[in-house]
Structure 1
Amino acid sequence: MEQISNFLNLPFTDPVLIFSLILLIILFAPLIFDKIKIPHIVGLIFAGALFGPNGLNVLAYDSSFHLFGQVGVLYIMFLAGIDVDMNDFKQNKNKSIVFGMYTFIIPMLLGIATGIVLMYLIYNNLSGGEPITWVSGEASDSNTLIKYCALSAIVLASMYASNTLLAYPIVSRFGVSRNRSVNIAVGGTIITTVLALLVLAIVLEVARGEMNYIFWLRFIISLSIFGFIIFYLFPRIARWFFKRYADNIVQYIFVLAMVFFASFLAKLAGIEYIIGAFLAGITLNRLVPKQSPLMNRIDFVGNAIFIPFFLISVGMIVNFRILFDGYLTLLTAVLMSVIATLSKYLSAKAARKTFKMSNSEESMIFGLTNAQAAATLAAVMIAYNFVIGYTASGEAVRLLSEEILNGTIIMILVTCIISSIVTERASKKIAISDISNEKSAGIYKPEHRILIPVSNPNTINSLMELAVLIRNKNEKQPIYALSVMSNNNYESQGAIESQKLLEKAVSLGAATDNKVKMISRYDLNIASGISNVVKEKNISDVVMGLHSKTTFSDSFFGSMTDALLSGVNRMICIFKSTQPMGTIKRVVVTVPADAEKESGFNKWCDRVFTLSEHIDAEIVFYCNANTTRSIASLAVARKNHIQPKFMPFENWDEFMTIKTAITSNDLLVVISARKLSPSYQTSFEKLPTQLSESFQENSFIVLYPEQFKEGEVDQMQNSTTKII
């Protein structure tokens, strides 16, 4: 009993017991607060306050919480950078810049105007009217007090200016992330967050008394070196690493190392760690596909461990009891919540007037940008730990006081609730409007039933990667993994190996939160087995690897592929991978004349556009004028994030001229055709030789669109003509 009593002494000291309690808090706090419609981020902060030294005193705020809290805030900023769709920002660049300035300047003006008065009241209340001894050694007079009130007010205003896209998952759930209001809000968030963090860094230097021309010279030089390393060296190092090391765990450790090294470099450059983490996310944004095992691991570890630790550590230093100690703390919380919400509302209203937006779009911008969380918490923690002086009684005077810290928690609670409610209502209205517009415009919405025939353990990773990247992220249909065997002996070695491949496909799908359904089939031959499954499961796409030639007379694609092309009219992608998709910079698509006349034209266009968006790669089409108009029309209708580029390509006999335009980081997509189809050309007969001789170093996809009407393919099965 005595041993148990020692374990239960408060605060807990046993590391296993502490970690167990933390995990229970991380598990149950979101569940409980979700029931009462409060964002779980606020729930974790409240849990930290409840169990921390200012609450039940179950957990002590020691060095471990400080360490994991620091890691957590850097992780939050990294996720904010890596989750941003840079193409959204480019597409609405000018509007995003204008709104970014609105949502930065308006909160700064309101925040400074009200903050100076508020900080003067707080400092006077803290010192009891007695002079404050400043760390900088400045005179303890009213002018110095006003100066520090102004500096504190600027930091407070920068907290109002920054925002976190906490409600973005709501937008994704309703499928309206391509709406221009969302794009503008995301772009504006990038601008205002970076500016707010830079303001914080400059104010801290002023408060240290180091603001002079030497500081500015050093700051500009160090910032330039930092920018060169982050924006020039980091992407090249990361691309080199991802090409050579495919293991997801190794890649994840590499990404973490890049993030924390960037944070350290930011500190060396004279700015805060969180700016380095945020810019590291921006830098790695294009190299980590959103639908990839690596991105899934980044999200999972951050949201499961690091970020909750940070939120709990924030709650542990909050003392809610002072809310009842006097009017000042309550006034601070109310004022901060009102100013933060009002300033973002006025910014959204200004954007609506400037860009002639609808009420729903205005609400969307306001909802997305109203939530205060990551950057706000980071800034208040940095400023709270920055001591600028001491009272006559020896109490520390902080750049942002305890009243501001506690007021920030209330502000986060209020803004997160408002943000969630407003964003959900706006998303519903925009989604209903988009559905109505799509029906009237006849926009193509393809069904995704993807089949992957698995037989080669060396290609299954790349095939699963491609299958995930050509799917819409909200697709509900599973990916089908198929193993076809002609031997009906279930105990054979081949059956065992096939089962292992199917299980690996399921594992790879789970790593990206995609359901994979295994199919084992025994048929006369592989082509027949695939063809039958395509019909039985109503498959829309077949994704398969490039055949490895076993004999000199064997065709480039293999006899099985040839037979499949003649027996299946659905879209078939033959994929050869030489590098991870995340390292692809550009997708180059060659399209034959009359491709727009094929029945599967819209479908393959949608798949190619989706692929380029998921890997954040530029897309270039080589095609004639008629096909260009058709593809451009589809791009406009589906509101592409990445605007396609077009190059004239009139004669397929000149296919090899494209070789000079292809670089090592390009993905070549060749749109081919079955014989007797409208876009078929005799030049396709040369394609196997051209690909094998001139594009060995490139990843490429040979794509056969869905062609012919039902029944026409059956007639072709009896054809003796070889199809390539």
Structure 2
Amino acid sequence: MSFIGSLVIILLSTTLAGHVTARVGVPAVLGQLLIGIIIGPGVLNFIHSTELIEQFAEIGVILLMFMAGIESDMKQLRKYFRPALLVALSGVLLPVILMGTASLLFGYHLQESLFIGVVFSATSVSISVAVMREFKALNGKEGTTVLGAAVADDILGVLLLSLMIALVGNSGTANHGSSNNILVQLVFQGIFFAGVFLLVRWIAPSIMNLSSKLLIPTSRTISAVIICLSMAYLAEFVGLSGAIGAFFAGIAVGQTPTKEIVSTNIEPISNAIFVPVFFVSIGLSVSFNNFLTSLPFIVTMTILAVITKWFGGELGALLAGFDRNSGRVIGTGMIARGEMALITAQIGFNAHLLDKALYMDIIFVIVIATLLAPLLLRWSLKKLNQIN
């Protein structure tokens, strides 16, 4: 099927699914994920993941995180830096230790088990961002901590991934614009974060001020998109997630007077086309081949994938002084793995750290955990709102 035809089916089906989920009080992103499974190879086999769909999906997550950055309160982010770091550390250590140990008990080698732990140490808060925006909780202390933890989590995940690849001595990550030499990668990432400071302080305000003087109606929106995509590209170049680069780009643009104009112009496009494709693309990766054979492993690892991030994040929040209800929101906000875990698993597969069968089982666990994440987060947000 041509890409245009596939896009029509994706947009039509996600629109209908969004209507149905809204009627029953379920997050719209959950309907979009399920649509991906239904129309993909897992059920109806209408649509397969293609390079164009993956490119649209990548733009979707970049724009989603860019909008999250624009809406972020910098004072809040600075205020909750310490809790975010504690949440990230505990949320990384628990999956690596417990899921790695469980994999050993299922008979996998130490190398494979360690890498499985690394895969599930990753967090993708794109889905949590969508749910928190729905509840208008993104700028609260819980939402700010989850966003901050996601940044720290991403950096820790990259370091663990680099260490694994370096120990194996495989150059499977060469195509991701980063060196296998951990020291070199750290230097590049340090330069990137120094650039983020310059961007927020001087570069983005200067660019947006200049764009306001151009005789083009959409000049400010175009300039903001250029900043967004450039930061996403640079983040990927140094071995980070493009979503993290886009998030910082959003923060930079959000500090300028053009914030409202940019947000008003970009959000409809991203939500109408690119974001639905991103959520559907996760569902398209599901295949039911050998599902029954692998069911004990999938069920066990799914349970661990949920509880290690949930209780890891909640433990970090409690250590930082949050109460139990806020900690629950933060913990459930860290459950989703999404694109970060999928990318990490793909890198491991290309680097021969995972065989094909194990790779597919891990994809299944990632997708199921990601499907459960918005339901659990919505439940915890409702309980928090009832108390407040």
Q: TM > 0.5 between the two? A: yes
- CA distance in 1: counterparts of 2:279 and 2:307, whole angstroms: 23
- Residue 102 of structure 1 aligns with an amino acid whose one-letter code is L
Contact kept in structure 1, 2:200 and 2:251, CA below 8 Å? no
Q: Tell me if structure 2 keeps the 8 A contact 1:82–1:285.
A: yes
Report what 1:239 is aligned to: 205
Please say if 1:199 is aligned against 2:168. no
Q: Give the C-alpha shift of residue 116 in structure 1.
A: 0.9
Q: Which of 346, 358, 366 is matched with 2:328 structurally?
A: 366
CA contact (8 A) 1:33 1:39 kept: yes
Secondary structure of the 2:255 match is: helix
Deviation at 1:51, TM superposition (A): 0.6
Structure 2: gaps (5+ residues): 170-178
Instruction: Give the aligned partner of residue 466 of structure 1.
Output: none
Determine the structure 2 residue equivalent to 1:626: none
Do structure 1's residue 268 and structure 2's residue 231 form an aligned pair?
no
TM-score (normalizing by structure 1): 0.47
> Which of 165, 175, 188 is residue 208 of structure 1 equivalent to?
165
**Runs of at least 4 residues of structure 1 off by over 6 A?**
160-163, 210-214
Distance 1:340 1:161 in 2: 12
Deviates more, 1:100-109 or 1:59-68: 100-109
Write the distance in 1 (CA, Å) between the matches of 2:332 and 2:364. Answer: 19
Out of 249, 254, 259, the position equivalent to 1:280 is 249
* Equivalence map 1:630-645=2 (5 Å): none
1:25 corresponds to 2:7: no
User: Does 1:407 find its partner at 2:365?
Assistant: yes
Instruction: Please say if residues 329 and 403 of structure 1, whose CA atoms lie closer than 8 Å, have aligned partners that are also in contact.
Output: yes
1:389 aligns with 352
Tell me what 1:156 maps to: 120
Q: Describe how 1:106-255 pairs up with structure 2 within 5 A.
A: 106-120=90-104, 124=108, 145-159=109-123, 164-172=128-136, 182-183=140-141, 185-209=142-166, 215-233=181-199, 235-246=201-212, 249-255=218-224
Output one character per residue of 1:196-244: Cα deviation in whole Å (capped at 9) or x when no partner: 1112222332233279999344234323332333321465333223223
Tell me the amino acid that sits aligned with residue 228 of structure 1.
Answer: A
Counterpart residue number, 1:103: 87
Aligned equivalent of 1:298 = 266
CA contact (8 A) 2:85 2:152 kept: no
CA distance in 2, matches of 1:288, 1:60: 42
- Deviation for aligned residue 1:86: 1.0
Answer 1 or 2: which has greater helix percent. Answer: 2
Paired with 2:317 and 2:19, the residues of 1 have a C-alpha distance of 32
The residue type paired with residue 294 of structure 1 is V
TM-superposed CA distance for 1:249, in Å, is 2.3
Q: Are 2:341 and 1:380 equivalent residues in the alignment?
A: yes
Q: 1:39 aligns with which of 20, 24, 27?
A: 27
SS at the partner of 1:385? helix
Consecutive unaligned residues of structure 1, counting only runs of 5 or more, are 1-12, 125-144, 431-724
Instruction: Check whether the contact 2:88–2:149 (CA below 8 A) recurs between aligned residues.
Output: yes
SS of the residue corresponding to residue 342 of structure 1 reads helix
Measured after TM superposition, the shift of residue 421 of structure 1 is 2.2
Taking a change above 3 Å as real, the CA distance of residues 108 and 234 of structure 1, as seen in their structure-2 partners, is closer
Computing the radius of gyration over CA atoms, which structure comes out larger, 1 or 2? 1
Give the 3-state SS of the residue equivalent to 2:8 in structure 1.
helix
1:248-268 alpha-carbon deviations (Å, 9 max, x no partner): 622222222212211222233
Q: Partner of 1:511 in structure 2?
A: none
User: Structure 2 counterpart of 1:389, which letter?
Assistant: H
User: How many Å separate the matches in 1 of 2:126 and 2:3?
Assistant: 36
Q: Deviations over 1:33-80 (max 9, x none)?
A: 223332111211110111112321111222211211222222233233
Structure-2 residue corresponding to 1:71: 59
- The CA distance in 2 between the partners of 1:235 and 1:72, in whole Å, is 26
Say if 1:248 and 1:205 are closer, same or farther in 2 by CA, change over 3 A: farther
Whether contact under 8 Å (2:96, 2:114) holds in the other structure is yes
Residues 97, 235 of structure 1: alpha-carbon distance in 2 compared, 3 angstrom cutoff: closer
Contact 1:78 1:259 survives alignment (8 Å):
yes
Offset, 1:420:
1.1
Quick check: 2:221–2:265 contact (8 Å CA) kept in 1?
Answer: yes
Q: Alpha carbons of 1:249 and 1:61: their partners in 2 closer, same or farther (altered >3 Å)?
A: same
Deviation of 1:163 (Å): 8.3
Structure 1 contact 163–193 (Cα < 8 Å) conserved: no
1:269-312 alpha-carbon deviations (Å, 9 max, x no partner): 3434333222222322312666x232122222222211111111
One-letter code aligned to 1:371? G
* Mapped contact 2:122–2:341 kept (Cα < 8 A): no
Matching residue of 2:176: none
Would the aligned equivalents of 1:158 and 1:196 in 2 still touch at CA under 8 Å?
yes
Q: Summarize the Cα distance change of 1:428–1:226 in structure 2 as closer, same or farther, 3 Å threshold.
A: same
Q: Distance in 1 between matches of 2:330 and 2:370?
A: 14
Structure that is richer in strand per residue: 1
Q: CA RMSD in A?
A: 3.2
**Contact 1:111/1:160 (<8 A) preserved:** no
Contact 1:171 1:427 in 2 (8 A): no
Cα distance in structure 1, aligned partners of 2:319 and 2:200: 37
Q: Which secondary structure state, in structure 1, belongs to the residue aligned with residue 67 of structure 2?
A: helix
- Does residue 420 (structure 1) correspond to residue 378 (structure 2)? The answer is yes
* Aligned equivalents of 1:234, 1:277: Cα separation in 2: 12
Distance 1:410 1:216, change over 3 A: closer
Alpha-carbon distance change, 228 to 248 in structure 1, aligned in 2, over 3 angstroms: farther
Q: Which residue of 1 aligns with 2:172?
A: none
Q: Secondary structure at the match of 2:352?
A: strand
Percentage identity across aligned positions? 18
Q: Secondary structure at the match of 2:218?
A: helix
Given that 2:241 and 2:340 are in contact with CA atoms closer than 8 Å, whether structure 1 keeps it comes out as no
Contact between 1:162 and 1:196, CA under 8 Å: does it hold in 2? no
Instruction: Call closer, same or farther: CA 1:324–1:34 in 2, change over 3 Å.
Output: farther
- Name 1:620's counterpart in structure 2: none
CA 1:385–1:155 in structure 2 vs 1: closer, same or farther (change >3 Å)? closer
TM-score, length basis structure 2? 0.83
Label 1:109 to 1:220 Cα distance change in 2 as closer, same or farther (>3 A): closer
